[in-house]
Chains A and B, each alone.
Chain A
């Protein structure tokens, strides 16, 4: 055997786990979770009495979506504002500083935002364990990826467009509204969808700041706690090895996975669609 063959064999051997483990994990999750799924499991809501043994996860699913949507609503004005500032006013030095700070913010582990939220929002501002606290905390978690994505979308707009608009005497607000948003919205929306997927999969930061295990179906105000799929799974996992509980937990995991995958796939579709549209318009 030659040295080349030997080293290739070594690479393949080392990479084997990466080839089979992902599929294995996915198949195992589906194998455990799919049998638990039924119409009434997904589309009925219970208050989580009997320590989660009574099934029906509609409330949790809606809670997760609501929290992710609220987080994105809180973060988006800041994310877009930062991206526009980056393009309109920032000097190259400020641009580097801003990206550095964003990377730094992104590197802070989510659980730290959970602690911060517990200190500041739940106790200091007295918002309590609530939808609002959770939304703002998750907004902090997704802010850097939203900004970086918006900046990247804006940078794909051909420079001539902006220059043409400015030489026509358009104000900054018109450049943003008429040119940039019109050109960059698919990219920005893709970022929103990916951020929603991220917010849906975060558990640690909202565990003690936004959610409760039982007693809530639908929050009545922004100051009431919610119940979410991801924290529901976590609580169930701690309940022990009761057959019924494990089945509900796996079923919830499949639903959560489907929701996350749904947002990611939608984002992929949108970005490949807008790439195609861009190629067609530039060919005309």
Chain B
């Protein structure tokens, strides 16, 4: 009895992963059947004309996540170094606590900040008709993944053993050389995990992005234009999930978007675990 319960529980993790992939694949079958895998690179998404191209959201997700990482990685890493190496115990505690607070703010509240603080700011500063854009999504995501990067990197830097630091000092390395030649290389595996986890988090974030990205199903014109309304994988799913009728090709296309997201996220998790 006990053994059955425990074994079944332990199997449940694998079962859930299999069920998620299986059911999503089954539900996206109508699309795969009619279009094959080609829909991934199609540039048009007009459900009313039965065009289900995934390219615009892939580009949107790519830009918003890249921008978020570009902003959050240097800041988070610098904050981690500051926290682990420069601050006295009191400041260290304060910085860690503030990161914990930031990590605890629900994403829908970040959405409010984006919607009613960031968007008006962007509109007035950049003189835009609407602040809803990939830039806004990237900025907001940067804020949301900052704690992840900072906390994991700080743990990695703090875990570099005392002997390594002492040896570096004995060799007469100055502070910056010690940082670049000893601490960061030693902490690199942990920092890499921090960045990958943050990447996954940014890619899967939904409600906050939905509120600021503008939900326009078009490729950015030109492709690097971050100031236009756009759409990401998650924001499209969230936007249209309630509209599509179950069993239709539109529905299948949305499920296929979710499946894409799940597959990429799981690949990332394998990358995190392989050293």
Contacts and interface: CB of A to CB of B under 8 A. Distances in A.
A111 B206 contact: yes
A123 B251 CA distance: 13
A22 B104 contact: no
Interface stretch (A2-10, A36-44, A152-160, A274-282): A2-10
A180 interface: no
A116 B82 contact: no
Contacts of B266: 104, 107-108
A78 B12 contact: yes
Contacts of A249: 112
B5 interface: yes
B105 A18 contact: no
Interface stretch (B20-28, B123-131, B216-224): B20-28
A256 interface: yes
Given A21-B102, A85-B10, A144-B13, 9 more contacts: A4-B174, A12-B82, A15-B81, A104-B270, A109-B234, A111-B234, A143-B13, A204-B238, A233-B109
Interface stretch (A25-33, A46-54, A214-222): A25-33
B207 interface: yes
Interface in B1-47: 2-3, 5-10, 12-14, 16-17, 19-20, 23-24, 27
B69 to A, nearest CB: 15
Interface stretch (A55-63, A184-192, A195-203): A195-203
A116 B203 CA distance: 18
Nearest to A104: B269
Nearest to A97: B14
B265 A207 contact: no
12 contacts: A3-B176, A15-B79, A85-B6, A89-B6, A109-B200, A109-B204, A109-B205, A115-B241, A176-B2, A204-B206, A208-B241, A246-B116
B206 A109 contact: yes
A7 B104 contact: no
A108 B200 CA distance: 8
A18 B179 CA distance: 20
Contacts of A165: none
Contacts, number: 243
Interface of A: 2-4, 6-8, 10-15, 17-19, 21-23, 25-26, 28-29, 32, 77-82, 84-86, 88-90, 98, 100-116, 118-120, 123-124, 140, 143-144, 147, 172-173, 176, 197, 200-204, 207-208, 230-231, 233-234, 237-238, 241, 246, 249-250, 253, 256-257, 260-261, 264
Contact of A233 (B2, B98, B105, B108): B108
B9 A82 contact: yes
B110 to A, nearest CB: 8
A263 B79 CA distance: 27
B146 A101 contact: no
Interface stretch (B50-58, B160-168, B255-263): B255-263
Contact of A18 (B24, B95, B238): B95
Contact of A15 (B82, B104, B143): B82
A120 B19 contact: yes
B20 A207 contact: no
A11 B111 CA distance: 29
A238 B242 CA distance: 15
Interface string B115-138: 111000000000000000000000
Query: A17, A90, A111, A201: which has the most chain B beta carbons within 10 Å?
Result: A111
B273 A100 contact: yes
Contacts of A201: 104-108
Given A22-B101, A201-B106, A98 B75 contact: no
Contacts of B79: 14-15, 18-19
A23 B98 contact: yes
B127 to A, nearest CB: 19
Given A3-B174, A105-B13, A119-B24, A207 B86 contact: no
A207 B77 CA distance: 34
A233 B108 CA distance: 7
A127 B5 CA distance: 25
B20 A112 contact: yes
B65 interface: no
A73 to B, nearest CB: 15
Given A101-B14, A172-B2, A237-B112, A109 B104 contact: no
